[in-house]
C-alpha cells in the first residue's frame, strides 16, 4: 500500500501531539459573576493569559444571581456570602433528595434582602467600569500585537470539548 505524503505528514503530526500534547487554549465562552466585587476579583485573580492566543478571551460577562455558582475555576475567588442553593451545587460529594429539599427550604426561609438604591447604583457603576477596561484591553490586544483572538465559533467548539472532558458536570 502506498502512503501519500499527506498521510505521512498527518501521521507525524499525530505522533508529535502524542509526545508533546499542544498546550490547550483556555479562552472562554462565558464568565459569570455575582456583583462588581465578584467580577473584580475574578478579573484580577483568574489566569488572564492564553497559551495559544496570548490574551485570554473571557467570553460574555454575565451577572448571575447569588444562588447560582460562577465558573468552576473562579469559585475560589468569589467571596460572596454563601447561599444554601449555591453551596449545594458546589458540593463534590453526592447530593441526596433530602439535601436538595433542605437547601430549598433554607433559601425560602432566608430570601436575600432588598438592595438599597445606593448599593444598586454603586454596583452598576463599578460593573460598567470593569466591563469598559476589560473590553478596551481586549480591543487593544490584536491592534498592539497583530495576534488574533479566537472566534465565537472556535470558542463554542472548545467549550463543547471541555464540557465533554469534565464528564458533563
Ligand atoms: Zn485562547
Ligand atoms: Zn460571587
* Digit-coded pLDDT (tens) for 140-151: 999 999 999 999
Residue 5 lies in a domain: no
Residue 45 lies in a domain: yes
Give pLDDT, residue 100: 95
54 alpha carbon, closest ligand: 1
Give pLDDT, residue 163: 76
Residue 166 lies in a domain: no
Residue 155 lies in a domain: no
Interval between CA 58 and ligand 1 midpoint (Å)? 9
Ranges of residues in the chain whose predicted pLDDT is under 50: 169
What SS3 state is found at 109? helix
Residue 87 belongs to domain spanning: 24-141
162 alpha carbon, closest ligand: 1
56 alpha carbon, closest ligand: 1
Domain count within the chain: 1
Give pLDDT, residue 104: 94
Give pLDDT, residue 134: 97
Query: Of 166, 154, 165, 168, which is closest to residue 59 (Cα–Cα)?
Result: 154
Give pLDDT, residue 7: 82
Interval between CA 106 and ligand 2 midpoint (Å)? 19
CB distance 63 to 36 below 8 Å: no
* Digit-coded pLDDT (tens) for 5-23: 778 777 777 766 666 656 7
Question: Whole-structure pTM over 0.85, yes or no?
Answer: no
Residues with beta carbon < 5 A to ion ligand 1?
Answer: 25, 27, 50, 52-53
Dihedral sign for Cα 11, 22, 143, 42, please: positive
The residues facing 31 across adjacent strands are: 61
With 0-12 CB in 10 A as exposed, 13-18 as middle and 19+ as buried, what is 56? buried
Give pLDDT, residue 41: 98
- Cell readout for 118 is 445606593
Interval between CA 32 and ligand 2 midpoint (Å)? 9
Dihedral sign for Cα 169, 35, 39, 147, please: positive
Neighbours of 72 (CB within 10 A): 10
CB distance 27 to 138 below 8 Å: no
Residue 33 lies in a domain: yes
CA angle 110, 124, 155 (to 5 degrees): 95
Interval between CA 46 and ligand 1 midpoint (Å)? 14
Residue 16 lies in a domain: no
Cα–Cα distance, 49 to 55 (Å, whole number): 5
* Digit-coded pLDDT (tens) for 153-166: 999 988 888 777 77
Distance of CA 142 to the CA centre of its chain: 21
Residue 98 lies in a domain: yes
- Cell readout for 88 is 449545594
End-to-end CA distance of the chain: 45
Cα–Cα distance, 57 to 48 (Å, whole number): 8
Residue 59 lies in a domain: yes
Amino acid at each position: 500500500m502506498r502512503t501519500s505524503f499527506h498521510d505521512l505528514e498527518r501521521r507525524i503530526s499525530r505522533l508529535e501531539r502524542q509526545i508533546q500534547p499542544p498546550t490547550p487554549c483556555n479562552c472562554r465562552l462565558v464568565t459569570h459573576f455575582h456583583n462588581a466585587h465578584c467580577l473584580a476579583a475574578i478579573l484580577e485573580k483568574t489566569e488572564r493569559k492564553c497559551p495559544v492566543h496570548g490574551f485570554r478571551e473571557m467570553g460574555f460577562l454575565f451577572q448571575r444571581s447569588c444562588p447560582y455558582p460562577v465558573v468552576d475555576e473562579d469559585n475560589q475567588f468569589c467571596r460572596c456570602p454563601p447561599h444554601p442553593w449555591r453551596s449545594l451545587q458546589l458540593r463534590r460529594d453526592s447530593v441526596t433528595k433530602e439535601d436538595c429539599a433542605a437547601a430549598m427550604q433554607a433559601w425560602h426561609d432566608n430570601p436575600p434582602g432588598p438592595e438599597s438604591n445606593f448599593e444598586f447604583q454603586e454596583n452598576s457603576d463599578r460593573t460598567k467600569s470593569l466591563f469598559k477596561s476589560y473590553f478596551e484591553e481586549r480591543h487593544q490586544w490584536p491592534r498592539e500585537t497583530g495576534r488574533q483572538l479566537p472566534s465565537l465559533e472556535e470558542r463554542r467548539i472548545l467549550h463543547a470539548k471541555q464540557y465533554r472532558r469534565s464528564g458533563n458536570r
